[in-house]
Amino acid sequence: MTLRLTFLGTGTSFGVPVVGCDCTTCTSTDPRDHRTRHGALVESKGGTVLVDAPPELRLQLLARGVTGIDAVWFTHMHADHVHGIDDLRIFTVRRGEMPAYVPEVYRDQMMRRFDYIFDDAIQPPADSSKPRLALRSFQDDDTVEIVGEEFRPVVVPHGNVDVYGFRVGGLGYVTDGKRLPDEALARLEGVEVLVLNALWFEKTHATHFNVEEAVAAAEVVGAERTYLTHLTHRVSHAELERRLPDGVFPAYDGLVVEVGS
């Protein structure tokens, strides 16, 4: 099985550049230092899965020339991961209802926050529309078949909530995590490509890996290639390239990675 991973957005909730900041990264002319909020695509021969719906989703999809999405996987309910959900409307206008996979623990919150989407009693006025999403929830230990591939949740702590990454084929994908519990490590065993969040060097954070912690976690997993995402303006792409060990790479908006297993 061959998968294609496209990083749509590789920044934190502030994005890069940060509004009102004139630091070296925020004023960089390197396009890889311009990071929109977190999002990704996983493509297989069976279709395309969107990972999260960040506020810049429409712009990200236009930038990558995306014309179709078959399903969406939500990792958790923080604003920078879900507040672009209305941008899915164009796809459901064209193709009809789209499956949206959400952890069972967040199902009720998703339905409350976006009741105009999920409450059938709320219908748009004439000549208007709303996203037509079929909410499908899953548990920690489930195996979820999406576009003909088996997605298995990889659950990691993120402060007082859990984030639901996934393992599909040779790809392990984790965003917004602070550590990899034993269950997550077991699920990631043998992956070819690993994706981890990492904010910056040295300084620790209560709910995210810093770069050193992410590199240490990558060493434990032992993937052939690890890509760091969810990056802040405190570190530039060039600095990451210079300081990261062999086999660990900084992701950037628009990066495409082939995963074969």
pLDDT one-digit tens code per residue, 18-41:
999 999 999 999 999 999 999 999
Alpha-helical (H) ranges within 31-98 are: 57-64, 79-82, 89-95
Closest to 172 (Cα-Cα) out of 10, 1, 5:
5
DSSP 8-state code for residue 231: B
Mean pLDDT of 181-204: 96
As a whole number, the mean pLDDT across the chain is 96
pTM (predicted TM-score): 0.96
Categorize the per-residue pLDDT at 257 as very low, low, confident or very high, splitting at 50, 70 and 90.
very high
Query: In 10 A of CB 45, how many CB atoms?
Result: 10
What radius of gyration do the chain's Cα atoms show?
18
pLDDT greater than 70 at residue 261: no
Contact assessment for residue 11 and residue 36, using Cβ atoms and an 8 Å cutoff? yes
Beta bridge partners of 231: 11
Q: Across residues 92-102, what is the average pLDDT?
A: 94
Q: Which residue has the tokens 């040295």?
A: 202
Architecture of domain 2-260: 4-Layer Sandwich (3.60)
Determine the average pLDDT of the residues in 220-235: 97
Give the integer Cα–Cα distance in Å for 196 and 36: 16
d(CA 13, CA 32): 17
Return the amino acid letter for 192. E
So what's the pLDDT on residue 127? Answer: 85
The three-class DSSP label of residue 65 is: coil
List pLDDT tens digits, range 161-174: 999 999 999 999 99
Q: How many other C-beta atoms can be found within 10 angstroms of the C-beta atom of residue 173?
A: 24
Which residues, 6+ apart, have CB-to-CB distance to 122 below 8 Å? 115, 116, 130
